[in-house]
Structure 1
Amino acid sequence: MIFSHILVPFDGSELSLKSLNKAIEFAKLNETIKISVLHVITFPVKRGPESLYSQVKGMIVEYGNETIEKASVILADIPNQFEVFVKEGSAQHTILQQAKELNCDLIIMGSRGLSGFKEFLGSVSHSISQHSTIPVLLIK
């Protein structure tokens, strides 16, 4: 078996859906392949009244939970073991940290996500592919 544990960063974009489907294709080759799906949330810098900031944070967490639930529904049809979770932090750091902590041996992710900035400021996928110690499959 080439891969045993695949990490899929998931933001609900079309490319993250394609990435999840590619991970499922691999998983269907062997029921022992595990898929972990990660949605990373980042909170804005705290400004303004505490109540407003708390409300914004709550909305971000709610959106993250709704987004990851979509992945969970898609994965429910496969016999493989899977997990979905939401973590807070910078996308690049959190994805690489989770890949290491979970002992993943492949990351499958979209070549760009919802931000749309792509290579202008340095995309998340570019950073992951440059700093990952495990293979990264970028989906276009």
Structure 2
Amino acid sequence: MFCEKVVLAYDGSDVAEQALEKTVAIAEANASIQISVLYAVELPQTPYVIGDVFEDMQKSMHEHGDKVLAEANEKLEGLPNQMDFTVVEGKAPRAILEHATDQDCDLIVIGSRGLTGVKELLGSTSHYVVHHSDVPVLVVR
């Protein structure tokens, strides 16, 4: 399989770190592979917003996403590959799939479990992505 663009679903968890390491190995094999690192912010859907609480929460969650992606950037900075780092709003499984489609990615790299740490082979996000993706998915344990 020839890979031109990889999307890495990254949330800063231990398993996401392992997925990042696999992405590095893939990128090291070919400097022309583009890497798109994605962090999804899922905002609560509530009809009750008091003052600026929602906007403050939204800003805080985006800032956290930016911080997580900055840490990923530090770990990837030695690679010559073209990279982008994106924070998106939405449920992580759908955000990952939409981003992969929008960016014409031909591989999704995702950890088997995210920050919830549920001890199953696949977490709900990776399970959804595997079953609904139009492109190959590399699940890292």
Partner of 2:100: 99
- Superposition TM-score, scaled by structure 2 size: 0.91
- Equivalent pairs: percent with the same residue? 36
Partner of 2:5: 5
Question: In the TM superposition, what is the alpha-carbon distance from 1:8 to its structure 2 partner?
Answer: 0.3
Deviations 1:52-104 (A, max 9, x none): 22222221111111111111111111111111110111111111011011111
- Classify the secondary structure of the residue corresponding to 1:3: coil
Task: Note the aligned Cα RMSD (angstroms).
Answer: 1.5
Task: Give the 5 Å matches for 1:14-29.
Answer: 14-29=14-29
Question: In the TM superposition, what is the alpha-carbon distance from 1:20 to its structure 2 partner?
Answer: 1.1
1:92 touches 1:127 (CA, 8 Å); kept in 2? yes
1:9 touches 1:95 (CA, 8 Å); kept in 2? yes
Task: Give the 5 Å matches for 1:34-113.
Answer: 34-46=34-46, 47-113=48-114
Query: How far, CA to CA, are the matches of 1:42 and 1:9 in structure 2?
Result: 14
Task: Give the 5 Å matches for 1:108-123.
Answer: 108-117=109-118, 123=124
Deviations 1:92-126 (A, max 9, x none): 1111011011111111110010123466xx70000
- Superposition TM-score, scaled by structure 1 size: 0.92
Consecutive unaligned residues of structure 2, counting only runs of 5 or more, are none
Q: Alignment length, in residue pairs?
A: 138
